[in-house]
Amino acid sequence: MKILLLVLGLLLGTVDGGKTTERPPLPLEKPAGSGVIVHHDGYVLTAHHVVANAKRITIVTPGEFRAPAVLVSVDVEHDLALLKVETVGLSEAPLGYAGEVKLDQEVIAVGFQFGLRETTITRGHVVAVRTRGVQRVFQVDAAVNPGNSGGAIFNRQGEVVGILTTKFTHPSGIVPEGMAFAVPISYATPLLANIPDFDFSAIGKTRKESKKGKGHGDPVLEMARTSVRIETIRMSEPPAVQSQSAALRSGQPSVPRAPASVARPNEGAGEEAIDRVNAQLQADQQEAMKRLLDQGLTPLPGMMLIPAGEFLMGMEDGLPDARPLHRLYLSAYWIDQLGVTNGQYRVCVDGGSCLPPKVRVAFDDPQLEQRPVTDVTWMQARTYCQWAGKRLPTEAEWEKAARGTDGRRYSWGNSDEVIQKSRATLTDGKASANGVEPVGMPLSARSPYGVSGMIGLVSEWVKDWYAEDFYRASPTRDPQGPLRGTFRVLRGGSWMERPLELRAGYRGWDEMTYWGPTLGFRCATDAP
């Protein structure tokens, strides 16, 4: 698409009689698309893919005013971006109310097709509203070409009601000719909120004003005045996520930040480095505890405090659903030091608040009172935690508690030895019937925060719905998982799982009504 644009742009530019030669020869900026001025202080709305991965962005108004732009905010999901150029007093386009856009209504698409200098104005109708995944668009039958992307569609009052996007696939898999998709302008609201004093109350009010006789004359001229051309110089590197992981793999020393261990993953780091991080994390934890005590708050019995801060979640070398390795910030929370035991669960059952496990053999064996409760469904796990005045941990909370901040492979570090040794103990004959094994978890298998049994005992239910693509769009603060789902996430596992499934970043999942002899849980709660 980019290449096509360039070729077409150059080709047509030449035919045009060399008008494009006015451009500075180096570095070469390429026409990328269109945009619309939404605020006179230099704010321009466009499609995200127009400016994605751009090293430099330039805005060119119809009057050939040319200025560098910075990216203020983006919404990749809806393919929207807000740019700003340092200027004041531009003509701005009024915004319309997307909710009032009717099927079959006439709309006008304005843009710079093929990156040409002349504005193209085409008419069409809204022929459909389509939803696909997180995207929802107007389908418009106006003639639209490469270069229109990011440009606005206007209603008859001259109000912007949508932004043209190419990041939408028609159900048939092909985009029929003479058909385009536009993101309803309402989805730009979060972006527009970045403009100081943006007047949201003016949205959809143009009609009244123009009747009062401001007399701008031709609304189509107004549309053309507020539409801009966007040119970019693109980075040759792949997008940010990949370049980050490339840097991680090469193991270059990174910019020191606090805590220093967060800067790059400790995958492959030796024991010495792991020990250093452990010492740092324990110091952080003790400091956070001290602050709580100073505030007159008491520690929660049987729970460990995980201080607020960043950590690395996911794995680059794991299954696709654990990619990418990404940095998250979590607020402080408490998490059970051990999984909920048969004995603890019995108190809830006896009190009538919890239903007994679906299979009672282990539950009814007095010998196993101290072992993790198993054969419970996700619902039962949640009910128990609520009864205990707590909640299930989120997937991110589970992973941070299990793994610390440095992206290591297991709770204890990167060595597989602990697994081998523990398996050997199991097959020594000490193993119980159902894989829920000795509470005698080796101390060395504890997480850097002192949380025990996260890897090696049972798989634990966490709060989140499962979606294999969630990490790719995860919020970077306290993610709560997808809004909907069919399966719930399970984390951790018994020593008998394959080593891949024992990694702290491994994501299991199952039906929330399922239970089994290796399925347990632990609870968490917010820290003040």
Partner 1 sequence: MRRRLPRMLACLLIGGGLTAIPPTVGFEQSGRSSLPFHTVLELEQTARLLAVLLDSGRAVINDNQMVLEGSQGKGLTPEAFERQLVDMFRGRAGIDLHELDDTVLAPRTKRLLRALVETSRQVIADLRRDLQPQDAGFTGFIPAVFGARVSARFTDHTGVRLKQTSLTPRNPANRPDAYERGALEAFADSAYPRETVISEMTADSASFRLMFPLYATRHCLDCHGEPKGVVDRMGYPREGLVLGQNAGAISVLLPVKP
User: Per-residue x/- marks for partner 1, 90-109, CB under 8 A?
Assistant: --------xxxxxxxx----
Contact between 181 and 128 (Cβ < 8 Å): no
Cβ–Cβ under 8 Å, residues 520 and 457: yes
Binding segment toward partner 1, per CB under 8 A, in 142-150, 243-251, 309-317, 509-517: 509-517
Give Cβ neighbours of residue 213 (< 8 Å, ≥ 6 apart): none
In terms of C-beta density within 10 A (0-12 exposed, 13-18 middle, 19 or more buried), how is residue 357 classed?
buried
Q: From residue 199, how far is each of 95, 228, 356 by CA, in Å?
A: 10, 22, 57
CB atoms under 10 Å from CB of 207, counted, come to 14
Specify the residue, 104 or 218, whose C-beta has the smaller distance to partner 1: 104
Of residues 24, 27, 173, 389, which one binds partner 1 by CB under 8 A?
Answer: 173
C-beta of 450 vs 485, nearer to partner 1: 485
Contacting range for partner 1; rule: CB under 8 A; set: 48-56, 68-76, 148-156, 482-490: 482-490
Looking up tokens 């704010």 gives 43
Q: Is 496 in the site for partner 1 (CB under 8 A)?
A: no
137 or 263: CB nearest partner 1: 137
Q: Which is nearer to partner 1, 377 or 452 (CB)?
A: 377
CB of 517 to partner 1, least distance (A): 8
List b or e across 432-468, with b for residues whose CB sees 16 or more CB atoms inside 10 angstroms: eebbbbbeebeeebbbbbbbbbbbbbbbbbbbbbbbe
Min CB(205)–partner 1 separation in Å = 17
Q: Which is nearer to partner 1, 48 or 446 (CB)?
A: 48
Q: Which of residues 110-169 bind partner 1 (CB under 8 A)?
A: 125-134, 138-139, 169
CB nearer to partner 1: pick between 281 and 436: 436
Q: Rounded to whole angstroms, how far apart are CA atoms 94 and 202?
A: 8
Nearer to partner 1, 127 or 431 (CB): 127
Nearer to partner 1, 147 or 357 (CB): 357
| Shortest Å, Cβ 123 to partner 1 | 15
56-87 residues labelled b (16+ CB within 10 A) or e (exposed): ebbbbbbeeebbebeebbbbeebbbbbbbbee
Determine phi and psi for 165, rounding to 5 degrees.
-130, 150
Q: What are phi and psi of 286, to 5 degrees?
A: -65, -35
Q: Which of 510, 522, 524, 527 binds partner 1 (CB under 8 A)?
A: 510
CA nearest to 74, candidates 204, 226, 192, 219:
192
Min dist CB 497 to partner 1, Å, is 9
3-state secondary structure of 243: helix
Beta carbons within 10 angstroms of residue 342's beta carbon: 24
Site string for partner 1, 433-472 (x = CB under 8 A): --------------------------x-----xxxxx---
Select 5 or 101, whichever has its Cβ closest to partner 1.
101
Smallest separation (angstroms) from partner 1 to the CB of 33: 24
Q: Which is nearer to partner 1, 187 or 412 (CB)?
A: 187
Token look-up 């304005």 returns 110
CB of 240 to partner 1, least distance (A): 20
Angstrom CA distances, 321 to 134, 159, 407, 485, 511, stand at: 19, 42, 16, 15, 17
HEC secondary structure over 3-33: HHHHHHHHHHHHHCCCHHHHCCCCCCCEEEE
The one among 518, 520, 521, 527 contacting partner 1 by CB under 8 A: 518
As measured in angstroms, the least distance from the Cβ of 279 to partner 1 is 35
- Interface pattern 175-214 for partner 1 (x via CB under 8 A): ---------x------------------------------
Binds partner 1 (CB under 8 A): choice among 308, 439, 478, 487: 487
CB closer to partner 1, 132 vs 290: 132
Q: Which is nearer to partner 1, 221 or 496 (CB)?
A: 496
With CB under 8 A as the contact rule, the residue among 154, 181, 509, 521 that binds partner 1 is 509
Given 237, 271, 511, 526, the residue binding partner 1 (CB under 8 A): 511
Q: Tell me the CA end-to-end span of the chain in Å, nearest whole number.
A: 51
Residues numbered 253-282 forming contacts with partner 1, rule: CB under 8 A: none
Element (H, E) at 289: helix 271-294
Q: Which two structure tokens, joined as six digits, stand for 74?
A: 């983006």
Phi, psi of 39, rounded to the nearest 5 degrees: -155, 140
C-alpha distance from residue 237 to each of 246, 251, 378, 390, 449 (Å):
11, 18, 43, 46, 38
Rounded to a whole number of angstroms, the minimum distance from the CB of residue 313 to partner 1 is 19
Task: Kindly write out the interface string for residues 344-383 of this chain, putting x where it contacts partner 1 by CB under 8 A and - elsewhere.
Answer: -----------------------------------x----
Q: How many residues lie near partner 1 (CB under 8 A)?
A: 48
Give me the least distance between CB of 467 and partner 1, in Å please.
4
The residues that bridge with 164 in the sheet, in sequence order, are: 182
Site string for partner 1, 378-417 (x = CB under 8 A): -x--------------------------------------
Nearest to partner 1 of 37, 153 (CB atom): 153
Q: Cβ(326)–Cβ(471) under 8 Å?
A: yes
Which residues sit at the interface with partner 1, rule CB under 8 A?
98-105, 125-134, 138-139, 169, 171-173, 184, 379, 459, 465-469, 482, 484-487, 490, 508-514, 516-518
